[in-house]
Amino acid sequence: MFSETLAWLIIGAPFFAGLTIIFVLRPWSPKLWKFSGLLGIAGVAIAFLLSLIAITSLLEHSYLEFSPHSWFVIGEKGSNTSFEMTIGILLDPLSAIMTAVVSGVSMLVQIYSLGYMRKDTNSLQDQWRDYPRYFCYLSFFTASMLGLVLAYNLLQMFVFWELVGLFSYLLIGFWFHRPAAAAAAKKAFIITRIGDFGFMIGILYLFFNRFEFIQRGLNPLEIPAISEAAPLLGSGVATLVALGLFAGAVGKSAQFPLHTWLPDAMEGPTPVSSLIHAATMVAAGVFLVARLFDLFSVSTTAMNTVALIGGFTAVFAALMGLVAHDIKRVLAFSTVSQLGYMFLALGIGAPGVAMFHLFNHAFFKCLLFLGAGSVHHSVHTFDMRYMGGIRKWMPITYLTTLIASLSLAGIFPLAGFWSKDEVLSSAFSDPSSVGSIVFFLALAAAFLTAFYITRLILMTFHGDFRGGINSVPQSDRIPDEADLHVHHHESPKVMIIPMGILAIFAICSGFLANSIIDLGFIEAHWFAHFLHEKAPLFNIWIALISTFTATAGIIYAITLYRKGLSELINPSILGVFSNKLLSQRFYMDYLYENLIVKTILYKGIFNFSNLLDKWIIDGSVNCLGWVGRNSGKALAQLQTGQTQVYGLGVSIGVVIILLFFQLQ
């Protein structure tokens, strides 16, 4: 039987690995810094092994119940007005799957990082300081995400939620000497805090409407209690709480309109981008809605909001991926789009389908980012305009990236096909008008996805080689790249092996996890049954439509780029105006920076606050001082030193008093 101690160790192993790296290995500098990577891998490997054991235990038990522990008490303990906050581990099929995905992907990324960070000397200005710092951040980041997944209550989840944001800030800004990286880290931190404020408001609103819970002896912030009592809250309270929590999910998972931070987060090391995009930070929002799905399902408004935001974001982000030149930014827009797919599925009442797509997405998206890092390892640029023709020098990287790309496009029988098909089938079978809308949005996103990922493959690996970093003008290079030159070679084995493992999962994870037939060694729809969800029926017509749509996108991209990439680096897909609009990301960053920050906040609110402070607050104080000072001067004029003047004043006062009493 899986014990609570082992469950806490899933979080503790990478956490203590990070502590050991920063407080033991790093201070010894030249002697032990090389072992920091191995220690980080060991910590997350322990977490991964324990996650697999937990899944095995859950195959025999529907859930593993661990009693929560007292955390703190508000008010006098035992009184009717007191409130006890608990802390504990919630280990059920949903959290077990997430811990396995998070720890497994993190382990492969850290193994990959052994080669990537040791060879990327331009990024490590001081190896014995930066190398341990990198693996320390990764360990803490993974531990925080695992803590979020296993949290027993909303406050505990919120603490780990914020820790994930903190360590993502440190990882995105790892190369803090680069202005772009520092700016990207601040942008990610600030924008996600906007969503987190909504998360906090949702928690507080639920706490102040806790009376339905208290009457039944339940804690309003404990996740099992929320699932049990959610139908009793009423649609009004449930809607406000759900929308507040969804705001946090929108920020963390980079959904419209809080999506702008994620493309800029590519300034961090490529393995970091892979980890953030594949299974950790951006998946947190999807997990949050899936974890509290019983609450969201009470409110039709909340469900429709989740579905429409997800469907719109899926198309919105895919459009921006059509014209991006930076390979990591294309993949970033792809992540935003695929997360929209997941929220779309959640909003139409298919949490199992959403988690299935998250499961598959973790493998092929992680592989795509590692492939981008492998390419950069050779050509030293992420700009696809300077790549091309490198498949002959990097055949393994090409093959694994191609597999991941086809899986992302949803080509049969790869992993992405099965989960994308279930999303489309669920939307198609939804009887509401929202289901019809999001079905066509998902279909449009499928076409766009196939197009931009084919474009990425063609511009990166096909055609003639366009020089890599050697062709990038010196004025466009960052200082760390000033002296770099192209070296045509395949990446080292320590980078290739994780890519090969991920490629295997990108091929078969979808079919094996949710096979439509019983394979003997694994039952049909195993993934859905494990999550205690109803397995969606396989719709052959939806599968054919999905495959045709993806194929059309691939063929259209090949048609546009077949003549040679030198002529078609940025073809006029939708016209000059549309290309300009897409390349500027629909001017969302301009809107936020110039309209909201500079105009509304700075010129409006900040200037108004300054005027309020200057004329009202300071003015009132200055006015009182002026009155006191000048009244003193006036009274000083009465101090003549002449007895007769004082006698006259007394006489006048007596007369006034007598008149007052006479009138009374």
Report residue 314's pLDDT band, with 50, 70 and 90 as the boundaries: very high
Radius of gyration of the chain, Cα coordinates, nearest whole angstrom: 30
pLDDT of residue 575: 56
pLDDT of residue 3 exceeding 50: yes
DSSP 125: S
Please give the pLDDT value at position 615.
76
Residues recorded for the chain: 664
DSSP 44-55: HHHHHHHHHHHH
Q: Which helix (H) or strand (E) holds 85?
A: strand 83-87
pLDDT of residue 286: 94
What is the Cβ-side half-sphere exposure of residue 360, based on CA atoms within 13 angstroms? 37
Q: Which of 136-150, 272-286, 535-549 has the highest mean pLDDT?
A: 136-150
> Looking at this protein, which amino acid is placed at residue 504?
I
Please tell me the predicted confidence (pLDDT) of residue 550. Answer: 93
Residue 552 has pLDDT above 70, yes or no: yes
The overall average pLDDT reported for the chain is: 84
Q: Where are the alpha helices (DSSP H) in 322-468?
A: 327-347, 351-379, 395-409, 415-429, 433-461
Across 413-437, average pLDDT: 89
Q: What digits encode the pLDDT tens for the residues 565-623?
A: 444 445 555 555 566 777 777 777 777 777 776 676 666 677 777 777 777 887 788 88
Distance CA 555, CA 145 (A): 39
Q: Which is more confident, 212 or 420?
A: 420
- Which segment, 188-202, 469-483, 578-592, 603-617, is predicted with the most confidence on average? 188-202
Within 13 Å, how many C-alpha atoms sit on residue 262's CB side? 31
- Greatest alpha-carbon pair distance for the chain in Å reads 120
C-alpha angle 19/153/349, rounded to 5°?
115
Lowest mean pLDDT among 44-53, 140-149, 220-229: 220-229
Integer distance in angstroms from the first to the last C-alpha of the chain? 93
Residue 493 reports pLDDT greater than 90: no
Please state the rounded mean pLDDT for residues 319-334: 89
Higher pLDDT: 289 or 268? It is 289
For tokens 């499961």, the residue is 359
**Contact present, 367 and 414 (Cβ < 8 Å):** no
Higher pLDDT, 451 or 662: 451
In this prediction, residue 276 has a pLDDT band, given cuts at 50, 70 and 90, of confident
User: CB of 138 within 8 A of CB of 145?
Assistant: no
pLDDT at position 603:
67
pLDDT of 47 > 60? The answer is yes
